[in-house]
Amino acid sequence: MSEYNKKTIDMYNLGGALEYIGNSNVDPEIEKWKKLFNYVKSVLPKDKNVKIIEFGSGCGQLAAMLQESGYDVVSTDAVDTFLEEQKRIGITQVKKYNFLADDFDKVFDSKADLIISWRNPHLDVDDMRKLFGVVYEGLNDEGLFIINFQNSEVHPEAEILPNGTKYNYKVLEDKQTKEKRFYAYFSKEDIEELRKDLFEIIEYHNEGGKEQKNWHVLTLKKIKRI
Ligand SMILES: C[S@@+](CC[C@H](N)C(=O)[O-])C[C@H]1O[C@@H](n2cnc3c(N)ncnc32)[C@H](O)[C@@H]1O
């Protein structure tokens, strides 16, 4: 795991998580969660007989909605404060899990039909490659992976790491976060590189911001090993 991801987790552990929870309680963004919930539902089979694991669930809003609607869902995070918040809002299956450091098979008792990694922009290219490998191994055959990435097209000011990651290390202007955070940005070509040989694209769109292109959103399907 990169020093950037480690620093981000340290930042969340040292008060950033409480600040994040505070911000999301002030601005619950209910419509955004409903939209995401409907998107997730739209790619899943109708019978709800699927095992879902969410990576980096943060406050747990999406997992709570999926649980409420009858899905078998586990919410996770690497940061205790977020796990406490997930339990506080009533999620019954909560697990501490760092997807870049922990062993999937030791934490979860079975593979998943759907893994979600939503709004986790704190990963450089190498972390992202690792995440894709972990998700591939953690899914049942033909399992689905929902992920979003910040779009490099709307961040021409980004700097570039030696491994090619486009990024900023900054304080968010709209939320006035106290500590700097690492934000990585990806192009469609970067995503192609990450998913080829592992996943096929089931759905792709852009959303967010004035021009609706702040984020790449994808549903991917695991390609069976030959
Ligand atoms: C920007 S927050 C998003 C939280 C939630 N998915 C949402 O959309 O509100 C990023 C989350 O990813 C978690 N995270 C970052 N790196 C992680 C890692 N390596 N393993 C597990 N969780 C991680 C953070 O602790 C944080 O909860």
CATH number of the domain within which 204 lies: 3.40.50.150
60 within some domain: yes
158 within some domain: no
Token output for 192 = 């192609």
pLDDT at 39 over 80: yes
Q: Whose CA is nearest to atom 9 of ligand 1?
A: 58
Q: Which residue has the higher pLDDT, 193 or 24?
A: 193
83 beta partners:
none
Total structural domains within the chain:
1
The burial class, CB within 10 Å (0-12 / 13-18 / 19+), for 3 is exposed
Say what the pLDDT of residue 206 is: 97
96 beta partners:
77
Q: What is the pTM of this model?
A: 0.95
Token output for 139 = 């899914």
Rounded to an integer, the average pLDDT of 34-53 is 94
Say what the pLDDT of residue 114 is: 98
* Alpha helices for 44-187 (secondary structure H): 61-68, 80-88, 104-107, 125-138
d(CA 16, CA 32): 22
pLDDT at 159 over 90: yes
What's the full length of the chain, in residues? 226
159 within some domain: no
Query: Cβ distance 75 to 57 under 8 Å?
Result: yes
Say what the pLDDT of residue 19 is: 86
Say what the pLDDT of residue 31 is: 86
Say what the pLDDT of residue 173 is: 60
Token output for 115 = 């893994």
Q: Is the CB of residue 120 below 6 angstroms from any atom belonging to ligand 1?
A: yes
d(CA 167, CA 70): 38
Range of the domain at 125: 3-150+187-222
Say what the pLDDT of residue 181 is: 81
Mean pLDDT for the chain overall: 93
179 within some domain: no
- C-alpha distance from residue 197 to each of 136, 161, 193, 194, 200 (Å): 11, 25, 9, 9, 8
Q: Ligand 1 mean position to 226 CA, how many Å?
A: 33
Say what the pLDDT of residue 37 is: 97
Closest CA to 164 of 132, 199, 134, 129: 129
Q: Ligand 1 mean position to 59 CA, how many Å?
A: 9
d(CA 181, CA 170): 5
Three-state DSSP state, 89: coil
pLDDT at 119 over 90: yes
pLDDT at 222 over 90: yes
Query: Cβ distance 36 to 64 under 8 Å?
Result: no
Percent of the chain beyond pLDDT 70? 94
213 Cβ contact list (under 8 Å, min separation 6) = 151, 153, 154, 206, 207
Of 3-7, 63-67, 89-93, least confident by mean pLDDT is 3-7
pLDDT at 177 over 60: no
163 within some domain: no
Say what the pLDDT of residue 62 is: 97
Rounded to an integer, the average pLDDT of 93-98 is 98
Rounded to an integer, the average pLDDT of 210-221 is 96
165 within some domain: no
Q: Is the CB of residue 127 below 6 angstroms from any atom belonging to ligand 1?
A: no
Confidence of residue 45 (pLDDT cuts 50, 70, 90): confident
Q: Ligand 1 mean position to 178 CA, how many Å?
A: 17
177 within some domain: no
53 within some domain: yes
pLDDT at 108 over 90: yes
